[in-house]
């Protein structure tokens, strides 16, 4: 895994966006289109902002998917990840979202989204790492061998508290307890992965990801098995 360190989140985001933009331009030139999976989180803001204004990308040729979504949030809730990406990323991209409005049973929506996201290969994943080392909402211990594309998972309290600490929810009780997530094996099926991590709260997760063996207890260690992963960290996350 190639690791690049930058002084602050803005510099990290600019570098990651430049790398992703270069790849997207090449993909569109070579194959006429590109498909990407996006994380929706504050740690991705600088990257998404810079990527959305990068020159030379024909966004009409790009399909985008988000990697996870809360179960049980009403349609108008601003914390829904699909809406978050529509607010913080370019509106020129064809964004496919997990729809929490399909009824009380989340399984049919998992199947629908799995069919949609597997219609063609994924070229690029823009990811982050959670404070507990999760990748998307694959909580520890993550399933590294599943053949599922989308799973409905229970969120552990560390992940739920991260949402409060990042200002996305007012208190723990307001954070949903379950979510849809793209699985680790599916994310690793992408052609290349760009992972952006910033802030002191992520320092231990970054340390465990880089230092430890591939271990379901630290889901992000699965990135070591991917031949084209670039990890972008800022100094606060890497100390």
Catalytic residue among 46, 109, 134, 234: 134
Give which of 123, 106, 47 is closest to 98, Cα–Cα.
106
132 is catalytic: yes
Sheet holding 94-96, edge to edge: 2-6, 229-234, 192-197, 124-127, 34-38, 62-66, 94-96
Reported in sequence order, the residue ranges of 29-110 that DSSP labels E, i.e. its strands, are 34-38, 62-66, 68-70, 94-96
| Alpha-carbon separation of residue 3 from 7, 78, 212 (angstroms) | 14, 33, 15
Catalytic residue among 69, 109, 139, 234: 139
Catalytic residue among 63, 68, 69, 215: 68
Residue 42, Cβ density class (10 Å: 0-12 exposed, 13-18 middle, ≥19 buried): middle
Q: For residues 223 and 207, what is the distance between their CA atoms, to the nearest angstrom?
A: 14
139 is catalytic: yes
Catalytic residue among 46, 132, 215, 234: 132
Report the run of H or E that residue 233 belongs to, with start and end. strand 229-234
- Rg, the chain, Cα only: 16
Helix (H, G, I), strand (E, B) or coil at 68: strand
Cβ proximity of 199 and 237 under 8 Å: yes
Residue 180, Cβ density class (10 Å: 0-12 exposed, 13-18 middle, ≥19 buried): buried
Q: Provide the annotated active-site residues.
A: 68, 132, 134, 139
């Amino acid at each position: 895994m190639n690791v690049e360190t930058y002084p602050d989140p803005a510099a990290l985001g600019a570098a990651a966006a430049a790398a992703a933009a270069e790849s997207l331009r090449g993909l569109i030139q070579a194959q006429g289109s590109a498909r990407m999976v996006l994380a929706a989180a504050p740690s991705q803001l600088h990257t998404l902002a810079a990527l959305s204004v990068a020159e030379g990308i024909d966004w009409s040729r790009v399909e985008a998917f988000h990697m996870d979504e809360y179960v049980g949030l009403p349609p108008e809730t601003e914390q829904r990840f699909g809406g978050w990406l529509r607010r913080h990323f370019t509106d020129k991209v064809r964004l496919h979202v997990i729809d929490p409005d399909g009824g009380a049973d989340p399984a049919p929506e998992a199947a629908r989204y799995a069919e949609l996201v597997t219609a063609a290969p994924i070229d690029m994943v823009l990811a982050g790492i959670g404070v507990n080392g999760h990748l998307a909402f694959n909580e520890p211990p993550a399933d590294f061998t599943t053949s599922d594309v989308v799973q409905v998972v229970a969120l552990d309290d560390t992940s739920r508290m991260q949402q409060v600490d990042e200002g996305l929810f007012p208190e723990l009780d307001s954070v949903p307890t379950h979510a849809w997530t793209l699985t680790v094996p599916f994310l690793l099926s992408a052609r290349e992965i760009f992972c952006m991590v910033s802030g002191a709260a992520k320092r231990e997760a970054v340390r465990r990801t880089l230092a430890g063996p591939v271990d379901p207890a630290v889901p992000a260690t699965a990135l070591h098995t991917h031949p084209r992963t670039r990890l972008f960290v800022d100094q606060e996350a890497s100390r």
